[in-house]
Amino acid sequence: MSERRMVVAIDGPAASGKSSTAQWVADRLRFLHVDSGALYRAATALALRELGAADTWDEIRVLELASDVTLVPGTTSFEPRLRGASAEDEIRGADVTKCVSRVAQMPAVRRWVNEQVRRAAVGHSVVVDGRDIGTVVFPDADLKIFLVADPWERARRRLTQRLGRRPADTEIAEETERLVQRDAKDATQTVQARDAVLLDTTYLTQAEQVERIVALARAVERGGSRGPSPAGDA
Ligand code: CDP
């Protein structure tokens, strides 16, 4: 591995497996994982605690609350802390998931997240996942991946992870509806960079998609080209 600091950007729609894939890729490459969505979720969790009904939230108040979020480096990833405390279950909960797109549409909050993420990457090689990492946050990233998968399959995977069992078709249908609605709300910020590698994971196992990204990152690290795209370069 070279000493040069590298940035791998992984973007894609809701529940496309970005975060778990990014963490796994980071572990394989011995990079640190930065989950930009976790910062939007952390700001949303504080807004839910303090500001009452989401339709009354004001950008300035949310930004003030966001200053209580710190991004703390661990051995393999950065973790957001809310007023110094870990809040993983809270930030992944249904209430936060329902309201996070509203917070993610606030330009001042987006600037705040981008600053936290860029600061985390100083002095580290990182794998960063989100919606706009390859376009806005790190337009010069060494490798950009855009992960997509069929909505039904994304819903099935997310529910299996959440419930710890095989979900029924009716449950998958409801979750698909929620995902499609969140995709629509997030559409403006979910942008595939022109130089991103499009990876459709509908028929891939997670191990396979991780292997493909690790192989692409190693090729870039060696100074080579990315080689043929797994599913066609954008
Ligand atoms: O994992 P999932 O796709 O459910 O979402 P996430 O990555 O945890 O992100 C949560 C929310 O944050 C998304 O629904 C977007 O509204 C927002 N987000 C964003 O706007 N830009 C990013 N770079 C990352 C997340």
Report whether residue 101 contacts ligand 1, using a CB cutoff of 6 Å.
yes
Per-residue burial over 82-116, b if 16 or more Cβ lie within 10 Å, else e, is beeeebeebbeeeebbebbbbbbebeebbebbbeb
Ligand 1 centre from 203 Cα, in Å?
Answer: 23
CB atoms within 10 A of CB 207: 9
Report whether residue 134 contacts ligand 1, using a CB cutoff of 6 Å.
no
- Predicted confidence at residue 12, as pLDDT, reads 95
pTM of the complete model: 0.91
H-run or E-run covering 120: helix 107-121
- Predicted confidence at residue 123, as pLDDT, reads 87
List beta partners, residue 73.
Answer: 78
Report whether residue 78 contacts ligand 1, using a CB cutoff of 6 Å.
no
Length of the chain: 234
pLDDT tens, 98-137? Answer: 999 999 999 999 999 999 999 999 989 999 999 999 999 9
How far is Cα 109 from Cα 77, in angstroms, rounded to an integer? 22
Report whether residue 15 contacts ligand 1, using a CB cutoff of 6 Å.
yes
Q: Whose CA is nearest to atom 11 of ligand 1?
A: 37
Ligand 1 centre from 33 Cα, in Å?
Answer: 15
Report whether residue 21 contacts ligand 1, using a CB cutoff of 6 Å.
no
Domain ranges across the chain: 7-221
Q: Whose CA is nearest to atom 15 of ligand 1?
A: 101
pLDDT tens, 185-206? Answer: 888 889 899 999 999 999 999 9
- Topology of domain 7-221 in CATH is Rossmann fold (3.40.50)
